[in-house]
């Protein structure tokens, strides 16, 4: 600890019997994917470094129960990384790792208040489940997921979507049920390729969007929006 290391010692990844690594108080900017080879690792202390994210491969360290990431910038990671909720953060990394393997990832019930930008690293995602979180906004960078076909944002706190959602030209199924929308967002109305749009139980009271532009729409579900009468 406190040795001003500028990188994670790669040799550690070959010490497969390691159960504890203490690297607090250095200036390490990233952890290599090879750290996931440490299957017996139980404690990893990385407090006071320069980490913005951790590799999804770290989720392979199934014995890891203590992960201290305090005093790192972690600008691309979820809140669980900041508050040392090891179980929740490893759950996030596991979902990321699954997305890398299968092009489908679920981050449902992760307690996300914002969309971690690290998630957008998984550019080959085709199906993304972000339901049952506390998202208040979707970042413009969602457009990076340009082969995304299914997006589930049910049960969040959304009232609008970024105009960049229109760049997700492969998107054909979008679930927005139980959010805080008062109308169908105008930037959705130009998505000619969307086939399924569900917005049950929002606060929609009028439809100013020109649905005629959504020429591919097969299913539109606006049930339980009391304002529509």
Tokens of 196: 């399924």
Q: Give the residues across from 22 on adjacent strands.
A: 45
- Can you tell me the distance from the alpha carbon of 177 to that of 167, in angstroms, rounded to the nearest whole number? 22
The SS3 assignment for 70 reads coil
Rounded to the nearest angstrom, the gap between the alpha carbon of residue 40 and the centroid of all alpha carbons in its chain is 27
CA proximity to 194, closest of 180, 184, 206: 184
Distances (CA, A) of 217 to 67, 89, 173, 198: 46, 37, 10, 11
pLDDT number for residue 119: 86
149-189 confidence digits (pLDDT tens): 999 999 999 999 999 998 898 999 999 999 999 999 888 88
Q: Is the pLDDT of residue 220 over 90?
A: yes
Q: What is the mean pLDDT of residues 3-28?
A: 94
Structure confidence at residue 77 (pLDDT): 83
Flag whether pLDDT at 108 surpasses 90.
yes
Query: 51 Cβ partners below 8 Å, 6+ apart?
Result: 28, 29, 30, 31, 69, 72, 73, 74
Q: What is the pLDDT of residues 32-52, one digit of tens each?
A: 999 999 999 999 999 999 999
Ordered alpha helix ranges (H), the chain = 79-82, 86-102
Q: Chain-wide mean pLDDT for the chain?
A: 92
Using DSSP, state whether 220 is helix, strand or coil: strand
**Residue 135 and residue 108 in contact, taking contact as beta carbons nearer than 8 Å:** no
The pLDDT of residue 209 is 85
| Length of the chain as a residue count | 229
Instruction: Give the pLDDT score at 159.
Output: 96
Q: pLDDT class for 11, splitting at 50, 70, 90? A: very high
Backbone angles phi, psi at 13, to 5 degrees: -65, -15
Tokens representing 136 are 């208040």
Long-range contacts of 86-91 (CB under 8 A, 24+ apart): 89/54, 90/58, 90/59, 90/64
pLDDT band at 67 (very low <50, low <70, confident <90, very high): very high
Percent of the chain with pLDDT over 90: 69
- Of the spans 3-7, 77-81, 108-112, 156-160, which averages the highest pLDDT? 156-160
Mean pLDDT value of segment 49-64 = 94
Top-confidence residue, 91 or 155: 155
pLDDT computed for residue 186 by the predictor: 86
Give the mean pLDDT of 7-27. Answer: 95
């Amino acid at each position: 600890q406190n040795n001003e290391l500028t990188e994670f010692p790669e040799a550690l990844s070959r010490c497969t019997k390691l159960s504890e690594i203490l690297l607090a108080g250095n200036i390490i900017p990233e952890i290599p994917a090879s750290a996931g080879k440490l299957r017996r690792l139980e404690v990893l202390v990385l407090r006071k470094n320069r980490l913005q994210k951790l590799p999804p491969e770290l989720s392979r360290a199934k014995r890891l129960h203590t992960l201290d990431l305090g005093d790192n910038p972690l600008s691309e990671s979820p809140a669980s990384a900041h508050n040392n909720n090891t179980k929740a953060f490893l759950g996030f990394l596991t979902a990321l790792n699954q997305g890398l393997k299968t092009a489908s990832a679920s981050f449902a019930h992760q307690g996300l208040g914002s969309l971690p930008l690290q998630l957008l690293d998984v550019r080959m995602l085709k199906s993304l489940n972000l339901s049952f979180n506390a998202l208040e906004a979707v970042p413009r960078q969602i457009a990076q997921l340009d082969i995304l076909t299914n997006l589930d944002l049910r049960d969040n706190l959304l009232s609008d979507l970024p105009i960049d959602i229109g760049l997700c030209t492969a998107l054909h199924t979008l679930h927005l049920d139980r959010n805080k929308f008062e109308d169908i967002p105008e930037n959705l109305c130009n998505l000619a390729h969307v086939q399924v749009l569900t917005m049950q139980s929002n606060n929609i009271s009028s439809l100013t969007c020109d649905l005629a532009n959504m020429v591919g729409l097969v299913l539109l579900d606006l049930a339980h929006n009391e304002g529509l009468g």
